[in-house]
Structure 1
Amino acid sequence: MKKLILIFTFISGVIASSNSLAQKDSTHIGFILANLYSERWHKDMSYFKEKANELGAKVTFIDCFDSEEEQANAARKLVQLDVDCIVFVPIAISDKSVVAIARQAAIPVISYDRFVNSEDLDLYISFDSEHVGEMMAKQVTERLPAGNILFVGGPSSDFNSALVRKGVFSVLKREREKYEIKKVNTSDWSELSAFMTVQKYLEETKFKPDAIICSSDLLTTGVMYVLEEMGLMGDVLLTGQDGNLNICRQIIKGNVLMTVYKSNRKLAYTAAEAAVDIAKEGSLNKVDAGNYFMKVPAILKSTTVLNKENIDQMMTMLNIYSKEELYGAE
């Protein structure tokens, strides 16, 4: 439990790009991050900044601390800074405030990784979350001919969580006579929320899962603490999503069945290219986009299954982690 008690101190909610000495007429992108307690968003921030700076743009990042109110405040701050484009990670699918604030100021806006329910988006860029759910469920059903499955979804306000669930159950419903299936949702994408949600559910229901399909690696990590306390680590099939280093290590150890790797670098690079393109030209010239929900221009990047059978090969092929990182001391 000590590992679950994390205290994060941020000196400032605003993190400015090191490219602050760029010329005044350079392209200025604003990026509103969901939070900075997650390893994932640090990576996205670094990759986005790298590509944007390479393209001659400067970036102002703002951490909204998983708060819809702070996200709206961040958008107003970026309007005051006269940015040329706003990129943001929506906290909730129904909260259109950032889009409305950007539109009122005639600033183009990109929804990053998560979808927000607005036709006024200039671009939605993410991964195919429904396919991610299908990949998770297929890996479990291939290993578990019959038994009990618990699905642990992220917050219901997150569109990606709903898409992962849709993908998972599109596979499981075809095999439902073989499994008893239960589902729960966490309040957010944190380890602590997953730990508390699953611990409470298993204690109250006495449900004994043979597999737990978790919608992200952070949730997988929280569930691992539950299984560790119950003495079931390694006995329950676990899935995840993101390809975090710790989860990749647990795959090698046999404690996690698989994770779905999503290239943060590719996503952030493509988003930076699109943001600069839209800011300069008013449209997407370098990046092709299809249509998504509500016919919003969209780019959905591909994903990769990582399991014990392919992880060494995929690490080399994708250049994600070194062997020293994977097999070294934790």
Structure 2
Amino acid sequence: MRTRWLLAVAATAAVLLGACANSDADDQPGEKEAPTIALFLPESKTTRYEAFDRPLFEAKVKALCAECKLLYSNADQDAAKQQQQVEAALTQGADVLVLDAVDAGAVAPLVNQAKQKDIPVIAYDRLISGISYEYYVSFNNVRVGEMQGQALLDALNAAGTTAKGQIVMINGSPTDPSSADYKAGAHNVLDGKVKIGREFDTPDWSPDKAQQEMEQAITALGRDSVVGVLSANDGMAGGAIAAMKRAGYATLPPITGQDAELAAVQRILTGEQHMTIYLDIRREAEQAAELAVALGRGEQPAAPAKVDNGTAQIPAYLLDPVPVTADKIKDTIVKDGFYQAADICTTAVAAACAKAGIQ
């Protein structure tokens, strides 16, 4: 009898232990059937974030994981606001953070808060420094700057103005590490080949501040001496172009950009802007979404590259940028469906579209 009683107790204990183990497994961070994924974007002055990054990311998450819950926040270029948003998401039970940091050099404490809760982090578009984390998804940013610099240099050489004046460099936000990469890439190409008359780091990537910087440069250097402008993105290019028009330029000097904003694509067709860098934001957003869903399910796919953020080697997905001038719009931006021809070819741009074969 005692033997049977001992066997019964042992069997009951085994069942209870198995149940506890299964319960523990079910409660492991990052292994939920319906994980909560939080996306944080830095600002809305650059049109891509609300027009492309957010909807593309959210659509891909829902396509891969219909039961997943999404949290979204835009910091409006306010680092303190973004801190509150991240902390709120952690309180709400976020299982994965996808973070495009306002100040990528100062968010390590936020990433550390997530690490303490075993919440994985993906640095999106901007490389976060000072701490290790799961993934970095972006473009080859130094290459972006090199492409901008080379496009400007080619335009100056074609016009025969390389040695006849100076250029103005309008870089992005000093708190964005991608901006430093763009600047470094541009200098790789331009240094020693053209005179840089004025160079600015533009807080918040603000088009209004870029316009003010360009106005200052024209006043300091003289209108006729400015032969080209290296603008790190399309929004700031628009500000610089407004300044040059206001200064009375009969013909605008070549100016670069990035992001393939609709207004910039139209300016390129009409000759006001020389080029843009086309970033396949769909691929970037969908890659981040795929990784977020995988992390939420307890998976960790191998990344094809690693990037040194000063503290750790971060597994990375780095996509290729594409330089686009007027003759390339049809076979890149339109062909990929980034914009429809009808979106680009408004009445004011119709003749330029016809010339470029865009219908």
What TM-score do the two structures reach when normalised by structure 2? Answer: 0.80
Report whether the alignment pairs 1:190 with 2:190.
Answer: no
74, 82, 102: which one pairs with 1:63?
A: 74
Aligned to 1:291: 306
236, 251, 256: which one pairs with 2:253?
A: 236
What does the per-residue CA deviation read over 1:191-219, in whole Å, with 9 as the maximum and x for residues that have no partner? 11211222223324436311101001111
Using the alignment, how far apart are the partners of 2:176 and 2:45 within structure 1?
18
Aligned to 2:4: none
**Between 63-72 and 81-90, the greater mean CA deviation after superposition:** 63-72
Partner amino acid for 1:312?
K
Aligned to 2:24: none
Q: Give the secondary structure class of the aligned counterpart of 2:258.
A: strand
Aligned to 2:341: 323
**Between 313-322 and 165-174, the greater mean CA deviation after superposition:** 313-322
Aligned to 1:44: 53
Using the alignment, how far apart are the partners of 2:135 and 2:191 within structure 1?
33
Query: Quick check: which one's helix share is greater?
Result: 2
Q: Give the secondary structure class of the aligned counterpart of 1:231.
A: coil
**Between 197-206 and 238-247, the greater mean CA deviation after superposition:** 197-206
Partner amino acid for 1:203?
T
Aligned to 2:166: 148
**Between 46-55 and 295-304, the greater mean CA deviation after superposition:** 295-304
Report whether the alignment pairs 1:253 with 2:270.
Answer: yes
Using the alignment, how far apart are the partners of 1:156 and 1:125 within structure 2?
20
CA contact (8 A) 2:278 2:323 kept: yes
Q: Give the secondary structure class of the aligned counterpart of 1:175.
A: coil
The structure-2 alpha-carbon separation of the partners of 1:148 and 1:63, relative to structure 1 and needing over 3 Å to count, comes to same
Using the alignment, how far apart are the partners of 1:139 and 1:30 within structure 2?
37
Equivalenced residues, count:
303
Using the alignment, how far apart are the partners of 1:230 and 1:315 within structure 2?
32
**Between 118-127 and 240-249, the greater mean CA deviation after superposition:** 118-127
Report whether the alignment pairs 1:265 with 2:282.
Answer: yes
Pairing of 1:36-115 with structure 2 (within 5 A): 36-42=44-50, 43-56=52-65, 57-95=68-106, 96-115=108-127
The structure-2 alpha-carbon separation of the partners of 1:118 and 1:279, relative to structure 1 and needing over 3 Å to count, comes to farther
Report whether the alignment pairs 1:224 with 2:241.
Answer: yes
CA contact (8 A) 1:233 1:255 kept: no
Using the alignment, how far apart are the partners of 2:79 and 2:109 within structure 1?
8
Pairing of 1:271-286 with structure 2 (within 5 A): 271-284=288-301
Deviation at 1:326, TM superposition (A): 1.5
Using the alignment, how far apart are the partners of 1:326 and 1:233 within structure 2?
25
Using the alignment, how far apart are the partners of 2:63 and 2:328 within structure 1?
33
Aligned to 1:7: none
Partner amino acid for 2:232?
S
Using the alignment, how far apart are the partners of 1:123 and 1:110 within structure 2?
5
- Stretches of structure 2 that go unaligned for 5 or more consecutive residues are 1-31, 349-359
Aligned to 1:124: 136
Q: Give the secondary structure class of the aligned counterpart of 1:239.
A: coil
What TM-score do the two structures reach when normalised by structure 1? Answer: 0.87
What does the per-residue CA deviation read over 1:14-39, in whole Å, with 9 as the maximum and x for residues that have no partner? xxxxxxxxxx9512100111123432
Partner amino acid for 1:173?
D
308, 323, 326: which one pairs with 1:305?
A: 323
What does the per-residue CA deviation read over 1:223-260, in whole Å, with 9 as the maximum and x for residues that have no partner? 11101101226421110000000000000000110000
Structure showing greater Rg: 2
Q: Give the secondary structure class of the aligned counterpart of 1:121.
A: coil
Deviation at 1:98, TM superposition (A): 2.3
What does the per-residue CA deviation read over 1:273-318, in whole Å, with 9 as the maximum and x for residues that have no partner? 0111112124225xx3311024111111111111012212223432
CA contact (8 A) 2:197 2:221 kept: no
Partner amino acid for 1:307?
T
Partner amino acid for 1:52?
V
Using the alignment, how far apart are the partners of 1:174 and 1:27 within structure 2?
52
Aligned identity (percent) is 23
